[in-house]
Structure 1
Amino acid sequence: MSREAAHALRAVRAIRRARAEGSSRGDVVYAVYAGVMVAAIVGVPIVRAVVLYLAEPAASAVLVDVGPTVSGTVFALACAAFVALGGVRGPALLSPFLLFAVAGGGHPRRRTLLGPVVRSVLALAVAGAGLALLPALAVAGVGDATVGGALVFAGAGALVGVVCGGCWLLGQRVTAAVRAWTVVGVVATWAAWVAVPGIGGVLPWGWFASLFPVGGGEVGAADAALGWGALSGLGVLAAAALAVTPMLLDGLRGPELLSQAQRWQTAGTLAFTGDLAMAMGEFRAVPRRGRRLAAIGGGGLALMFARRDLVGSLRTPARFALACAGCVGFGLLITVAVGASGPGVWIAACAAAIVGFLALGVWSDGFRHVAEVASAPPLYGVSTLRLLGLHAVLPVVGGVVFSGVGVGVGGVVLGGALGGVGGGVGVEPSWSALVAAVLCVLLLVLVRVYDSAKGPLPLTLMAPVPTPAGDASALVVAAWQADAVILSGVVVGVTVVSVAGGVGGGVLVAVGLGVVVGWMARARVLAV
């Protein structure tokens, strides 16, 4: 060991010793106590409500029908998402100072960076087991599965979490091109699993889907053998992910590690001060592709602006692909919400609102440009409101097209189950879902316009708000930061519920909501 490496190692140990001395045993006990109390007060009621809803006859019937397909799909898309996430924030991450100390020391990274990776993989394993156990217990509670099957599925969920951790570290290690091709390969194998019958026996998505606990009767010897084979396959895959972890850690490059650490430290500081917009801007992809695509062309203003915005989004292909996938997922969730009943409508509608709001943000960069130039004199005789309308062409067209694709996918995959829940109305839920998706896209575009002119956090909101329970200023800041997301959940939820009760009434309700949100957006934009 060189003298510089030994000095760096002593410095890191001194820092860790100082941190350990700074946090007393009482602080650790209090942190554990606070975490347990928060989980008991907030988490347990939410989990109980979800399990009770899934245990209802209509919901459990849908869960039994689509549970295996959804489980395999979630596994595949999670692997692809974690590979992509590795390029932004990998599991092997330390503060810039510690990273500089250990990376410049000469020690193998399999030793210096193993701690955060182990913690991340353990967290994903626990999360995977919990998310798998939730629907499994609901199915077992109505007698459609055994408790043993539910526990086996939870164990498979833990193995899936370990595999996702390996994909996360792989995405941090490889280059951008390899990362993109890996994501494409995972999505392609998932599409093959969905389209080709009988191929699930050789794909991990099929292994996990086959372990979904359905059927409350006795399990035959052949089915038991297939189940243990699928569980063994997932175990081998998780073991392989753990085995290659040291090699992946040693291959991590110092500049990329330091860049990620500095970016996340800056984003954390901005988020702590309440500037979430600037914090999210730290992770916005830099345009590096499509420089030869002409952004300016002929045609009217609407076509010219649509082409300009489309070319701008294509110059960040990953963001464009996420926008398309997000809008497809939005349409799929709208289909689920229209065909559900009870609290499931609001759960699916709120999930769709969040996904759609985030997906449309990729095509809404023009709105932010309008907000920046709103106080300047209008260029070429185009007013601010007309400029907003011109920039709205791409998000409206893209959102409607890809959400319509999502509704079609939902009608094919979930058509039978939703038709049964909807009282045997046949193809009507698909048309209702299509109308609801189109209306919700238009409303979410208005919400995006409203959010684009938000501006920085007012300093008056940072003032203390004394209450009997303590200072509530953090809640005020959180509500101000999440106002667009909350508004999205309200307008999408109300629209979906109204369309499910009748298409005509739903259209009238959506028009009323559009007038209100449009007035709010107009007032905020003109006040800039």
Structure 2
Amino acid sequence: MSRETAVALRAVRSIRRERAEGNSRGDVAYAVYAGIMVAAIVVVPILRAVVLYLAEPAASAVLVAVGPAVSGTVFALACAAFVALGGVRGPALLSPFLVFAVAGNGHPRRRTLLRPVARSVLALAVAGAGIALLVALVLVAVGTTSVAGAIVFAVAGALIGVVCGGCWLLGQRASAAVRAWIVVGVLATWAAWVVVPGSASVLPWGWFASLFPAAADVADAGLSLGGLGLLAAAALAVIPMLLDGLRGPALLAQAQRWQTAGTLAFTGDLAMAMGEFRAVPRRGRGLSAMGRGGRGGGRWGGLVWVFARRDLVGSLRTPARFVLACAGCLGFGLLIVVAVGASGVAVWIAACAAAIVGFLALGVWSDGFRHVAEVAAAPPLYGVSTLRLVGLHTVLPVVGGVVFSAAGVVVGVLLWGAVVWPALAAAVLSVLLLVLVRVYDSAKGPLPLTLMAPVPTPAGDASALVVAAWQADAVILAGVAVGLTVVSFAGGVGGGVLVAVGLGLVVVWMARRRILAD
């Protein structure tokens, strides 16, 4: 870093501290203290429970069997995800003031923006090494691998983190079209690694999979580890060039969006905060949302088809969100297969993961529910009551969720040989429950001010927990509903159907009460 650039950066940071916009030493010390306490009280017990579960004979056998394939798949999906994430939130993110003061001057951005990127890459490297070491230590504990194999896998995890950091910055630098092509290319190479025999020796996903402790020979790990090292070195080498190519308007737009979202989230309005990142429709303007049949005629016929077509066209105008919804429902079906075939606490882990994935995926097709919540207090549109309007908007999420989740179940059955009918019934009923939860969540409204009142307890003010519970009530309800449905299928399909119907009636009553109250 040149002397002029260093002096300018020190001046900017000094002015920012004087304006009380930066973090003081006390703030940093408190953040470190809070992080250590959270890790000791929350993170460590959770990690211990995970390690103890994975160390059980049945779980460790599954881990050894699927570990290489899962590790390579996670690497590929992480690279694709970080490239996509760069368009929303890149590693070179500063406050709007610092974007003007640091990135808007004549100094090269490879120097003025290097600090946040270095922190992000280091954090990813540490996280990758930690996750890999956690899995490797489980295998060491059960006697499947050696300590040397665990260390090699942890080093590979750190290199993977560096590569993901480079992909993250690449996504921030590239345009939307280039990001889409990069994601498609990464997924295509991953598919080639899965399908084409012998491709593991030339693809990074195969290198990382070959280093999985239960399958790797430490003596033969040098070539794969060297390939990952070269890939990480290349990622570090292109960082300066990518930083210099960042555009000022894009940097400022990201900074302002995240500052606004942070302010909204701090005040408790998570719905508005998430709305800051909702994609703006830019494509499909030529698609007719109403068709030629008017209110109820024409080839679409009836209000059901009119509203279904309108919702479908609306979702197609944001193609990336539509694809994510389809992929999320496929993943939901796969996780349901895993949950139905699991036992013990693994059932709840897989079911809750499926509930979160499915709930987020169906949100793309549930924009109509938000429209209902907005017009609930107004005179009925098109002569349709509020509750009937809700029913008309359920067509797209129900059909799309059932079709793609069923496809995910079929893929899961083909991969793992599970019984198809219990998994398929659990997936279909869970989709219907998640759609009802989406209806319930759409009419939530703003945060009640009464929840912001202090809640004194011996451990301190617990009002933050009350606000967090109010914000996450739909996700909690989704996890409980899907979890109970999947667990009930262990006693038979009939019992699972009865439980799902009972839960559905409860959610319908809750949603109806909330909608009519608005």
* Letter paired with 1:366: G
* SS, match of residue 244 in structure 1: helix
| Range with greater deviation from structure 2 (313-322 or 123-132) | 123-132
Partner of 1:327: 329
Unaligned runs of 5+ in 2: 292-299
Residue 504 of structure 1: aligned partner = 494
Greater displacement, 245-254 / 74-83: 74-83
Pairing 1:9-24 to 2, within 5 Å after superposition: 9=9, 11-15=11-15, 18=18
Matched ranges for 1:220-259 at <5 A? 223-224=217-218, 226-259=220-253
Shift of 1:33: 3.0
SS of structure 2 residue aligned to 1:52: helix
In the TM superposition, what are the counterparts of 1:130-149 in structure 2 within 5 Å? 130-149=130-149
Alignment partners' CA distance in 2, 1:105 and 1:128: 35
**Is the Cα contact below 8 Å between 2:328 and 2:357 reproduced in 1?**
yes
Q: Does 1:445 align with 2:429?
A: no
| 1:273 and 2:267 are equivalent in the alignment | yes
Once the two structures are TM-superposed, the CA of residue 409 in structure 1 deviates from its matched residue by 2.2
Q: How far apart are residue 18 of structure 1 and its match? A: 4.3
* Contact 1:5-1:105 within 8 A present in 2 as well: no
**Larger relative contact order (C-alpha < 8 A, sep ≥ 6)?**
1
1:180 partner letter: A
- Give CA deviations for 1:57-80 in whole Å, capped at 9, x if unaligned: 111121111111111111111111
Q: CA offset at residue 31 of structure 1? A: 3.4
Between the aligned partners of 1:370 and 1:17, the Cα distance in structure 2 is 47
Secondary structure at the aligned position of 2:65 is classed as helix
Give the equivalent residue in structure 1 for 2:256: 262
Going from structure 1 to structure 2, the CA distance change for 1:36 and 1:395 (only over 3 Å counts) comes to same
Distance (whole Å) between structure 2 residues aligned to residue 414 and residue 152 of structure 1:
30
Q: Distance in 2 between matches of 1:112 and 1:5?
A: 7
Superposed CA deviations along residues 102-143 of structure 1, whole A, max 9, x for unmatched, are 122100000110000011111111111122222222222222
Aligned Cα root-mean-square deviation (Å)? 2.1
1:66 and 1:414 in contact (8 A); partners too? no
The structure 2 residue matched to 1:382, chosen from 384, 389, 392, is 384
Task: Tell me the equivalent position of 1:357.
Answer: 359
Q: Check conservation: 2:170, 2:242, Cα contact below 8 A.
A: yes
CA distance in 1, matches of 2:24, 2:371: 50
Question: Could you tell me how far 1:466 is from its partner in structure 2?
Answer: 1.1
Matched positions, count: 508
The answer as to whether partners of 1:9 and 1:105 remain within 8 angstroms in 2 is: no
2: distance between equivalents of 1:63 and 1:199? 23
Distance 1:21 1:262, change over 3 A: closer
Inter-partner Cα distance in structure 2 for 1:19 and 1:57: 58
Whole-angstrom CA distance in 1 between matches of 2:376 and 2:103: 47
Alignment-derived partner of residue 62 in structure 2: 62
Cα distance 1:433–1:6, how it changes in 2: closer, same or farther (>3 A)? closer
2-structure distance, mates of 1:96, 1:119 = 19
- Rate the CA distance shift 1:23–1:339 in 2: closer, same or farther, 3 A: same
Q: Does 2:487 align with 1:493?
A: no
Amino acid at match of 1:444: L
2:295 match: none
Does the 8 Å contact 1:204/1:234 carry over to 2?
yes
1:398 to 393, 397, 400: 400
CA distance 1:21–1:396, shift in 2 (3 Å): closer
What is the Cα deviation at residue 228 of structure 1? 1.7
Summarize the Cα distance change of 1:82–1:293 in structure 2 as closer, same or farther, 3 Å threshold. Answer: same
Query: Percent identity over the alignment?
Result: 83
Q: After alignment, is 116-125 or 223-232 more displaced?
A: 223-232
The answer as to whether partners of 2:17 and 2:24 remain within 8 angstroms in 1 is no
Residue 38 of structure 1 aligns with an amino acid whose one-letter code is V
CA distance in 1, matches of 2:244, 2:22: 32
Work out whether residues 83 and 168 of structure 2, in 8 Å CA contact, stay in contact via their aligned partners in 1: yes
> Is the 1:360–1:399 contact (alpha carbons within 8 Å) kept by the matching residues of 2?
yes
2:270 partner amino acid: L
Verify the 8 A CA contact 1:8 1:105 in the aligned structure 2.
no
C-alpha distance in structure 2 between counterparts of 1:277 and 1:202, whole Å: 44
Q: Find out whether 1:527 has 2:511 as its counterpart.
A: no
